Amino acid sequence: MNLLDDDWQLLERAIRRDETAWCILSDRYRPRLLGLAFVITSSRAAAEDIAQEAFVTILRKPPRRSADSIMPYLATAAYRLALKEVARRRRLTCMEGVEVVDESAKPFDSIEREEAHREIGSAIRALSAEHREVIALRFQGEMSYEEIAKSLNVPLGTVKSRIFNAVKQCREYLKQKGI
């Protein structure tokens, strides 16, 4: 049995409330979903919620079985949920001047890494929606160009062009920031 068949069988079992199947799928895809959501939201807590909700989304409304893995479906769900979270936060930022402090203690050596991730997230958020979409799906959702083209219903050449241009724009943004 190959991994793709295994994913679909695990999903079917998870839909029937098989906790073991749910755990296997979660262990397999949760880290990628967390990365995707974190890049877009810059929030670890939001990324956790989004990853969980992406799984719930495909359990409630399972995708049609295809030759692809379930990752494109999960990544698309997580991407859309992350965009909704960013939009929701923008509506709530009317409270300017209020600083939100992360209460969790962080070791000093991780601060630089988190700042770099935050700047990369800022670079990605500075992209147009269509460029942000393909970058997030490719690098955080780990989707192939073909999976992205199919998911977004655009030609493969368009996906390649958008990724090329988005990476170029991110490099320029980060270079201006001294990163």
Question: pLDDT digit string (tens) for 62-100?
Answer: 888 876 778 888 888 898 898 888 888 777 654 444 444
Mean pLDDT over residues 107-121, rounded? Answer: 68
Q: Are 41 and 50 within 8 A, CB to CB?
A: yes
DSSP state of 65: P
CA-CA distance, 19 to 75, in Å (whole number)? 21
CA-CA distance, 98 to 103, in Å (whole number)? 15
Q: What percent of the chain has pLDDT over 70?
A: 84
- CATH class of the structural domain 3-176: mainly alpha
Label residue 142 left, alpha or beta by phi (over 0 means left) and psi (-120 to 50 means alpha).
left
Label residue 140 left, alpha or beta by phi (over 0 means left) and psi (-120 to 50 means alpha).
alpha
Domain residue spans of the chain: 3-176
Express each pLDDT in 124-144 by its tens digit.
Answer: 888 888 898 888 888 877 788
3-class SS of residue 17? coil
CA-CA distance, 78 to 83, in Å (whole number)? 9
Mean pLDDT over residues 19-35, rounded? Answer: 90
